């Protein structure tokens, strides 16, 4: 795809492309985050369990991860403009269908359709914008682009909480439709026309191997806790199939002339280091905003509006991080990477110290700090990864960037939910075991609850405390993920000009 030809845009056309890209990315980011605050109500309305309703988020992320590597082939086959325009329109129609979904299975399927249709939009928009500006302006442009990514998470949870509480969870998808319409009209009017290069054949084998591997690993981590992990034949089959398909995909990609995903580009050392940090960044992006709504509603009884405002505070932190980088992008990117990942460690450690009486202020400041750190990380990561390659490689690199970011998010979400569920069950058994005959606690228990009916509030409280322990362990996992990733910053080299 000849993105290098786009570098001669006039100043006004560049600005229009940047503004349109920000609007489209705002739509994508808002649609992801606005559903998070309504997860507890979706769970109750559609009779789902906690791990089942998490698929409303993870199905989008997995489908997006499967579709992202096809961006280069699709752009060569249909052209950049056509792909962005029809992807935005299709994404808008899928959003309308989500609002009409009759059950959880259909909703998850439609969210996966959103992920597939939206997969090419972000990397192509990002590549188009970056190819339109000289490298010396990439830091500032990335900060502006990133602000568009975070405006959605700032507005969506707050308004989503109000809409969910007043009108039900379906209203959050209806709320996205005016923005979807505006984005569709904008891309039709602004995205420049281009000619699709000579089309190349789709590497069908690579596509099949990659899709099966991604789906198997995601199913394994998402359903492992429910099926007792490797005591289940299903989990064993998914693990073995995922490993085999991943091996076949790697071998095929390294030996085929035009592979589905050209892994040979990873021989670029600077790019490989940058993409490793991108995967870690993705793991830290969404896990807290999946865990917190259930914690705050089920254990603390917070209304959806309050939950939405707390998630919006995290988005405000991200926005502030991008604004700071408008000025700070001139400095060594390693400084901002260190500050950003350190903020994740600090916020994760603070969240792991929560108790059952966690306050609004505690959630607010830890969320703001986490968002600020993410804002510090996004810009230098983008500059490092794109600074390591030539402009004609931008579509492939941006596809890999968002693939690793979103797949890392989906895997970390599933592992965090599984960890919270498993450790809460273990804690519940350990606590109730102290109430067995012959234990000193039994006398207090019998004195307080001489009948089964009177003991129910005590057992409910034990369940709440055990669930809180599960969430604390998940937050500790979040902090450790950021801490383990930090040594990779030492391998980063400033991008060439």
**What confidence tens digit (pLDDT) does each residue in 136-146 have?**
676 677 777 77
Higher pLDDT: 128 or 494? It is 128
pLDDT value of position 4: 44
pLDDT value of position 317: 87
Q: What is the mean pLDDT of residues 280-302?
A: 83
pLDDT at 198 over 60: no
**What confidence tens digit (pLDDT) does each residue in 451-489 have?**
544 556 777 778 888 889 999 999 999 999 999 999 988
Higher pLDDT: 347 or 460? It is 347
Cβ neighbours for 233, distance < 8 A, ≥ 6 positions apart: none
Which structure tokens are listed for 396? 């492939």
**What confidence tens digit (pLDDT) does each residue in 29-56 have?**
787 767 777 777 888 778 777 667 777 8
pLDDT at 307 over 90: no
- Residue 313's region, left for phi above 0, alpha for psi from -120 to 50, else beta, is alpha
- Residue 449's region, left for phi above 0, alpha for psi from -120 to 50, else beta, is beta
pLDDT at 406 over 60: yes
CA nearest 379: which of 348, 342, 334, 345? Answer: 334
Local confidence band at 6 (pLDDT 50, 70, 90 cut-offs): very low
Higher pLDDT: 462 or 373? It is 373
CA nearest 28: which of 53, 63, 52, 78? Answer: 63
pLDDT at 26 over 90: no
Local confidence band at 382 (pLDDT 50, 70, 90 cut-offs): confident
Distance CA 41, CA 160 (A): 12
pLDDT value of position 368: 92
Local confidence band at 442 (pLDDT 50, 70, 90 cut-offs): very low
Burial 216-228 (b: 16+ CB within 10 A, else e): bbbbbbbbbbeee
Local confidence band at 299 (pLDDT 50, 70, 90 cut-offs): confident
CA nearest 212: which of 254, 240, 252, 231? Answer: 240
CA nearest 75: which of 83, 64, 86? Answer: 83
pLDDT value of position 73: 76
CA nearest 168: which of 75, 46, 73, 51? Answer: 46
Are 206 and 260 a contacting pair, CB within 8 Å? yes
pLDDT value of position 435: 64
Q: What is the mean pLDDT of residues 374-381?
A: 86
pLDDT value of position 366: 92
pLDDT value of position 2: 46
Q: What is the mean pLDDT of residues 334-345?
A: 91
Q: Hey, what CATH topology would domain 3-202+260-426+465-491 get?
A: Growth Hormone; Chain: A; (1.20.1250)
pLDDT at 8 over 70: no
What are phi and psi for residue 169, nearest 5 degrees?
-65, -25
Q: What is the DSSP string of 332-352?
A: -HHHHHHHHHHHHHHHHHHHT
pLDDT value of position 443: 44
pLDDT value of position 288: 85
Are 128 and 21 a contacting pair, CB within 8 Å? yes
CA nearest 363: which of 413, 291, 424, 431? Answer: 291
pLDDT at 65 over 90: no
Distance CA 437, CA 260 (A): 63
CA 335 to chain CA centroid, nearest Å: 24
Q: What percent of the chain has pLDDT over 70?
A: 86
**Range with the largest mean pLDDT of 55-69, 130-144, 234-248, 289-303:** 234-248
CA nearest 64: which of 110, 120, 124? Answer: 120
Q: How many CA atoms lie within 13 A of 309 on its CB side?
A: 8
| pLDDT mean across residues, the chain | 80
Which structure tokens are listed for 301? 């009884």
Are 489 and 278 a contacting pair, CB within 8 Å? no
Local confidence band at 345 (pLDDT 50, 70, 90 cut-offs): very high
Residue 300, number of CB atoms within 10 A of its CB: 17
Sequence ranges of the domains in the chain: 3-202+260-426+465-491, 203-259
Least confident of 19-23, 64-68, 171-175, 466-470: 64-68
CA 221 to chain CA centroid, nearest Å: 16
pLDDT value of position 496: 60
Burial 58-77 (b: 16+ CB within 10 A, else e): bbbbbbbbbbbbbbbbbbbb
Distance CA 92, CA 118 (A): 9
Length of the chain: 497
pLDDT at 3 over 60: no
Residue located via tokens 């071998």:
251
pLDDT value of position 350: 92
CA nearest 128: which of 18, 259, 10? Answer: 18
pTM: 0.76
Q: What is the biggest distance separating any 2 CA atoms in the chain, rounded to whole angstroms?
A: 82
pLDDT at 280 over 50: yes
pLDDT value of position 240: 93
Higher pLDDT: 19 or 247? It is 247
Are 308 and 162 a contacting pair, CB within 8 Å? yes
Local confidence band at 150 (pLDDT 50, 70, 90 cut-offs): low
Give start and end residues of each alpha helix (H) in 54-200: 55-67, 71-78, 80-99, 104-118, 121-132, 138-167, 170-190
pLDDT value of position 49: 74
């Amino acid at each position: 795809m000849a993105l290098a030809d786009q570098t001669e845009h006039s100043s006004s056309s560049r600005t229009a492309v940047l503004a349109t890209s920000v609007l489209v990315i705002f739509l994508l980011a808002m649609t992801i985050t606005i559903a998070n605050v309504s997860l507890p109500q979706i769970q109750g309305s559609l009779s789902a369990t906690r791990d089942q309703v998490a698929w409303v988020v993870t199905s989008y992320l997995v489908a997006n991860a499967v579709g992202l590597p096809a961006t280069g082939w699709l752009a060569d086959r249909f052209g950049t403009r056509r792909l962005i325009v029809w992807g935005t329109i299709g994404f808008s129609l899928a959003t309308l269908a989500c609002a009409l979904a009759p059950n959880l299975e259909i909703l998850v399927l439609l969210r996966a359709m959103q992920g597939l249709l939206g997969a090419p939009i972000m990397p192509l928009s990002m590549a188009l914008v970056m190819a339109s500006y000289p490298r010396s302006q990439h830091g500032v442009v990335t900060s502006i682009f990133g602000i568009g990514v975070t405006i959605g998470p700032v507005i969506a949870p707050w308004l989503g909480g109000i809409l969910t509480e007043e009108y039900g969870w379906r209203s959050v998808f209806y709320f996205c439709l005016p923005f979807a319409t505006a984005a569709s009209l904008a891309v039709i009017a602004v995205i420049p026309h281009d000619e699709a290069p000579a089309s190349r054949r789709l590497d069908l084998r690579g596509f099949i191997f990659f899709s099966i591997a991604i789906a198997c690993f995601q199913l394994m981590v998402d359903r492992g806790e429910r099926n007792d992990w490797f005591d289940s034949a299903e989990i064993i089959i998914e693990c073995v199939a995922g490993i085999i398909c991943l091996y076949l995909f790697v071998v095929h990609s390294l030996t085929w002339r035009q592979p589905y995903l050209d892994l040979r580009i990873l021989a670029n050392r600077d790019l490989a280091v940058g993409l490793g940090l991108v995967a870690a960044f993705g793991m830290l992006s969404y896990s807290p905003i999946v865990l917190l709504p259930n914690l705050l509603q089920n254990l603390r009884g917070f209304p959806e509006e309050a939950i939405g405002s707390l998630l919006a505070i995290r988005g405000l932190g991200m926005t502030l991080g991008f604004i700071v980088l408008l000025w700070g992008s001139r400095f060594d990117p390693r400084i901002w990477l260190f500050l950003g990942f350190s903020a994740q460690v600090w916020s994760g450690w603070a969240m792991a110290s929560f108790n059952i009486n966690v306050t609004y202020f505690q959630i607010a400041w830890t969320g703001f700090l986490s968002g600020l750190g993410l804002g510090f990380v996004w810009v230098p990561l983008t500059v490092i990864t794109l600074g390591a390659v030539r402009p004609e490689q931008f579509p492939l690199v941006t596809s890999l960037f968002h693939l690793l970011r979103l797949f890392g998010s989906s895997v970390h979400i599933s592992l965090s939910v599984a960890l919270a569920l498993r450790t809460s069950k273990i804690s519940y058994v350990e606590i109730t075991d102290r109430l067995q005959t012959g234990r000193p606690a039994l006398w207090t228990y019998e004195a307080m609850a001489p009948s089964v009916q009177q003991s129910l509030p005590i057992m409910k409280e034990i369940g709440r405390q055990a669930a809180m322990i599960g969430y604390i362990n998940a937050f500790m996992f979040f902090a450790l993920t950021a801490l383990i990733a930090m040594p990779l910053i030492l391998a980063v080299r400033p991008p060439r000009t």
